[in-house]
Amino acid sequence: MTKAYEDTRVSINLSKEQIEKLLKKFDVVATRFTSYPAFAELAFVRKSGERFIPYRVVVKAKIKPSPRSVDREMERAERQVWRVVYWWLKSKLEAIDFGLVEFEQELLPYMLVTDKGKDRTVAEVIFERLGKAISPPDDPFGGLRPSLPSGEK
């Protein structure tokens, strides 16, 4: 099964330009694109009233073993990542534009907050705290056991 946008021919630069254009419609005043061999990062700052709110989205590249050269495969994976980000972001921003959700509500997991002296996404902070609140792996039911039909153990 092929992955979404696996063989896209849309250039990396065009995808980034389209992402910036989308974001500018929603009062984004700064954008940064960073690509690494294994992942890509989109960071941006949105002006909301008198506040400037930073966001960060990190996407893992889908690098596949290939007879292609390593450089060609890395470029293919980067084209794929930025194309997926464009369409993902476009769908979210269309829902916001329609009035289905507010910007901060829809992108809350990616909003950056200062936690323990470093910038982290809201999702990173919440997942860490949830991990501490959820039962340890040796007791996945937290002392509770699911009801089983009579006669089953």
Average of per-residue pLDDT across 26-55: 94
Instruction: Read off the DSSP letter of residue 116.
Output: T
Q: What is the pLDDT of residues 102-138, one digit of tens each?
A: 999 999 999 999 988 899 999 999 988 887 776 555 6
Is pLDDT of 150 > 70?
no
**pTM for the complete prediction?**
0.80
Strand partners, 112: 121
In 10 A of CB 35, how many CB atoms?
A: 18
Three-state secondary structure call for residue 39: strand
Residue reference for tokens 């002296």: 117
Amino acid making up residue 29: V
**Max Cα–Cα distance, the chain, nearest Å:** 64
Q: How far apart are CA 87 and CA 79, in angstroms?
A: 13
Is pLDDT of 145 > 90?
no
Q: Name the residue with higher pLDDT: 87 or 152.
A: 87
Q: Look at 9-23, 32-46, 83-97, 136-150 and tell me which has the smallest mean pLDDT.
A: 136-150
What pLDDT is attached to residue 92?
A: 97
Q: What is the pLDDT of residues 46-88, one digit of tens each?
A: 999 999 999 999 998 877 776 668 888 888 889 999 999 999 9
In which band, very low, low, confident or very high, does the pLDDT at 8 lie, cut at 50, 70 and 90? confident
What pLDDT is attached to residue 151?
A: 52
Strand partners, 114: 119
Residue reference for tokens 């989308």: 22
CA–CA distances in Å: residue 121 to residues 40, 51, 77, 82:
15, 17, 24, 20
